[in-house]
Structure 1
């Protein structure tokens, strides 16, 4: 068994993976993928091992300890005593991997020169990273939302590379509603005068207002109608009056203030160019493309897969996860998160996610034909 040299635990590392050809015919030249890992790698990098790939959502990053911290650590669902947890920053992102804000090999920033990418391109980049690290097989992949789309594509693109997949809060393809709401977000950014066709880098301005507006639109799809109404109703922000003679943007409903806050927080940590690129990749998500349609593609999936959905999800309604579960032959089970939170419940309902992930690992080991020879997987 080969020894792997991985990043120090919890620290960000960047690996150059070379040129990444995109599904649509573009090329991301001299690409870099960033990642973090927790737990020690054990096993054979070309066979049975304990490496688990975690896939972040649209505006997530490599730091699983930030957004799934209650699930990560010794004895927790993502047990770092048992598993080597690896999380990459998606290609096109802005947290260490090559994206529109990165330096272009020919000078300047990528900006508008960054090609459109698909979920399959994101998975191809991750495979190139694992190849660069010396890993040709791993135990399992888990992800939610855009991360769930990547987990599903891993099972379809590289079924011989992993033992199990956990697909959370996503669909087999983008629906017309999802494309519509996501293109509205892109439009909010592109209509900001500071966007400058995507080439705003190093100009002294950035489309912060457009990005904040896009986030406000998106956040309404991430949270549940019931939760927002219970929290805010038609109440006004403290000290303000939105019922005056004329509309005044300084006099807000409480929910307006809440959404504006989340818009500002995203502007502080995320790049508008990456937001456009990654949102467009979700528009292009369609596992049936080039595979004879959705059901034929799902029917060909050979990787044991667990499906997880949220009962109040507006963005990816639960019936879309039911469709996945009906058509994947190696179904490990379908789990339903019950929550008023909506789509983000997989990031908020830690007790339910704890049980789901623990069950997934038990089943993933039972589905591993070689597990009896590797006690650390039991």
Structure 2
């Protein structure tokens, strides 16, 4: 796993570390003007595409159907960089990493912001000899990271693709994230964040992740996938034992799914890192320090693609349209591409047939790309919207 050490890194909270280790992966060959930075989502890693030597704790690249040879982000054409963000647990420094005293940082690690992620990526790219980027692409909170590039380094990137994201979280998502953090901190094994020598707060982390999964799915997708069906095994297990009266009632498919996802997640992720990254997402506000989102993006002269999904209530189509409007008020050329989907927020990960074509065409030709549609009244009408049926089979 490649890493780079960044000296004297100052966090937005004011703390400086002598060295910040950043884990990253690259794909393809750098030709000077073909670099594409991919920003991962909340619990993703630098392992964005399949490669012989990259795992980052995950067997396959998390966007392997979108990034790779001959795929939408074609690694035979682009030099793709993906870096694990500060605060995470996949090789970049965060709470589980070793601190200056030789012990795990725990909650002594500096608070992190999306801006810290962006600045660490800029410093990493400097070390790799990459100047101006052809594009930055990110989904979910990775989309916020991509937007922060347009705001913070407007002359360093030609094109920005913000997928399934928004300028900030709304109150409902803020509230649900607050409950998720309380689940972790309420686990007795959390121990104020100092648990690395003993039992980890797996039950609290499992509950937090289950709440996250409910945010990522839509009502329609949950109805289709689970309905009210009863699972074929008993409830509980070691993580969530049932009460005697509860044993009278059915253990449903949706519960089984959430338990399975939680069991997998606690094996690969760190509870403190989850707290840190969720706080960074909650804190992000594109307009912070400005009069509006448009003012924050006014200096970006490139091209931007906002890509949203109709079934996503975590980051809605309306939020994406507001973001596109903010970009239109500035110097950027903008398209807001809407995908009809019932998959909810997870659509950007599970529908490569919907995400791939507009991304590929945007990277190649900007907002004039063949399959890039726009919601504006004066948008081109000679290209049909992307629906699953167009790229299935």
The TM-score normalised by the length of structure 2 is 0.85
Change (3 A) 1:38 1:365: farther
CA separation of 1:327/1:249 partners in 2, compared to 1, >3 Å: closer, same or farther? farther
Structure 1 counterpart of 2:124: 129
- Distance in 2 (CA, whole Å) between partners of 1:219 and 1:365 is 32
Deviation string, structure 1 residues 34-88 (Cα, Å, up to 9, x no partner): 1111111112xxxxx1010011100111111222112222222111111011111
How far did 1:24 drift? 2.4
- Answer whether contact 2:118 2:149 (CA < 8 A) is retained: yes
Give secondary structure in 1 for the equivalent of 2:230: coil
Instruction: Please give the alpha-carbon distance, in whole angstroms, between the structure 1 residues aligned to 2:266 and 2:30.
Output: 36
The residue that corresponds to 1:61 in the other structure is: 45
**Are 1:337 and 1:345, in contact at CA under 8 Å, matched by a contact in 2?**
no
Q: Distance in 2 between matches of 1:239 and 1:165?
A: 46
Structure 2: distance between partners of 1:138 and 1:366: 19
Q: Which of these residues, 207, 212, 226, is aligned with residue 213 of structure 1?
A: 207
For the pair 1:38 / 2:40, whether they are aligned, the reply is no
Within a 5 Å distance, the mapping from 1:39-118 to structure 2 comes to: 39-43=28-32, 49-65=33-49, 66-118=61-113
Q: In the aligned structure 2, how far is the partner of 1:331 from the partner of 1:233?
A: 43
Give the match for residue 391 of structure 2.
none
Separation in structure 1 between the aligned mates of residue 321 and residue 278 of structure 2, nearest angstrom: 24
Structure 2 residue aligned with 1:337:
339
Structure 1 CA distance for aligned equivalents of residues 207 and 286 of structure 2: 30
Where in structure 1 are there 5+ consecutive unaligned residues? 1-11, 44-48, 368-378
Q: Give the SS at the match of 2:195.
A: coil
- Contact kept, 8 Å, 1:33 with 1:91, in 2: the verdict is yes
Change (3 A) 1:327 1:107: same
Partner of residue 235 from structure 1, selected from 229, 234, 249:
229
1:324 matched to 2:323? The reply is yes
User: Which residue in the other structure is 1:195 paired with?
Assistant: 190
Aligned counterpart, 1:275: 274
Q: CA RMSD in A?
A: 2.1
- Unaligned runs of 5+ residues in structure 2 are 50-60, 237-242, 370-393
Cα distance in 2 between the residues matched to 1:102 and 1:123: 20
Question: SS of the residue aligned with 1:179?
Answer: helix
2:259 aligned counterpart, secondary structure: helix
- Per the TM alignment, residue 250 of structure 1 is displaced from its structure 2 partner at its CA by 9.1
Q: Distance in 1 between matches of 2:8 and 2:303?
A: 31
Please state if 1:359 is matched with 2:365: no
Cα displacement (A) at 1:300: 4.2
Counterpart CA distance in 2 for 1:342 and 1:261 is: 19
Contact 2:334/2:367, CA 8 A, preserved across alignment = no
